[in-house]
Amino acid sequence: MLLSLEPRGQQSRAMLWLSPLLAAVLTLCSGALLFALLGHDPLDTLHTLLIAPLADWYGVSELLVKALPILLCALGLAVAYQARIWNIGAEGQLLLGALAGSAMAIQIIDWDSRWALVWVVLAGVAAGAAWGGLTAWLRTQFNANEILTSIMLNYIALNLLLFFVHGPLKDPAGFNFPESAMFGDASRLPLVSEDGRLHAGLYFALLALVAVWVLLHKSFLGFQIKVLGLDRRAAGFVGFREKRLVWFALLVSGGLAGLAGVGEVAGPIGQLVPQVSPGYGYAAITVAFLGRLNPLGILFASLLMALLYLGGENAQMTMNLPQAITQLFQGMMLFFLLACDVLILYRPRLKLKWAQRTTNAEAMA
């Protein structure tokens, strides 16, 4: 091996934050290389992907619209991951939030009062939290691995949503399209500004950002969660109740993802459709890690991820590239991040090994 790793003995704080940046840069470089191999001008493509979408206010507002659900899901995941509870179920929790919110909105479609929106949002949050709670129940009661159960619940949630959108919630006047009726105006999230689609979900997201920051950095509960994540046994010895913390983390996680889901259907979409989410819940996993499970880091990471979504759409429209670029970059970024994270605990040594090799070779000779 060319590269040898030498333990630093302690975490490098600089690398803790440089590693995500390094990962992003490496992803862009590999992306550029990929585009060059496919016969596109790499700089041109990166421009289409990352800069062109933000040319005007509309672009910026679209960026925020896409960042909102990702941010909400990733904030929730950060709470769970801080406790080392691997909730992979944000996608399902988001879908269930969207489904329950829509069911509520269809029930009260002719309400005029603003309370309609409150009920719709509450239904979404409650359903997301319940879906997360299901994972918590399976884990605390039956010791079932939360990675596998939450993934399975994603598939179940998707099929539930498809069942309802093809069945009970289908718009009777919708020419048999798998879509619900459009929600009443009272249950839609109001727009923040006249142009663009940016909606009041923005305030929810900002509120959640502050709340999760306070929870993780300023509260005893957050401290307990972190201790649980660092050392389960230690947490047990000092009397923190593991089961209760698992429930809490997954309920918060699910509730925020549910909020993201209901924000999509009551916000930009305005009805229940089969494709509520282009994988926001999965993108949030990358975002949570990239943001170092820190609310501020997650804010930046979710903006970057939203930019990738926006750029993917743009590249498909203008350059006929597959939109899956977004997911591809997402995976690359997480991979590079994990690889770069080795530098937090280890110092790379290149020459040393060579020197050793030559001495070995000399010894052999």
If the CB atoms of residues 192 and 328 are measured against other proteins, the closer one turns out to be 328
- In the complex with other proteins, the residue whose CB is nearer, 142 or 220, is 142
State the minimum distance, in angstroms, from the CB of residue 152 to other proteins: 4
As measured in angstroms, the least distance from the Cβ of 19 to other proteins is 11
Q: 150 or 271: whose CB is closer to other proteins?
A: 150
CB of 231 to other proteins, least distance (A): 15
CB of 220 or CB of 275, closer to other proteins: 275
| SS3 assignment for the chain | CCCEEEECCCCCHHHHHHHHHHHHHHHHHHHHHHHHHCCCCHHHHHHHHHHHHHCCHHHHHHHHHHHHHHHHHHHHHHHHHHCCCCCCCHHHHHHHHHHHHHHHHHHCCCCCCCHHHHHHHHHHHHHHHHHHHHHHHHHHHHCCCHHHHHHHHHHHHHHHHHHHHHCCCCCCCCCCCCCCCCCCHHHCCCECCCCCCCECHHHHHHHHHHHHHHHHHHCHHHHHHHHHHHCHHHHHHCCCCHHHHHHHHHHHHHHHHHHHHHHHHHHHHCCCCCCCCCCHHHHHHHHHHHCCCCHHHHHHHHHHHHHHHHHHHHHHHHHCCCCCHHHHHHHHHHHHHHHHCHHHHEEEECHHHHHHHHHHHHHHC
Residue 11 or 159: the one with the smaller Cβ distance to other proteins is 159
- Cα 288 versus chain centre, distance: 6
Nearer to other proteins, 225 or 337 (CB): 337
Q: Which is nearer to other proteins, 271 or 286 (CB)?
A: 286
Which positions lie near other proteins, rule CB under 8 A?
Answer: 5, 86, 88, 138, 142-145, 147-149, 151-153, 155-156, 159-160, 162-163, 166-167, 282, 285-286, 289, 322, 324-332, 334-335, 337-339, 341-342, 346
Alpha-carbon 188 to chain mean position: 23
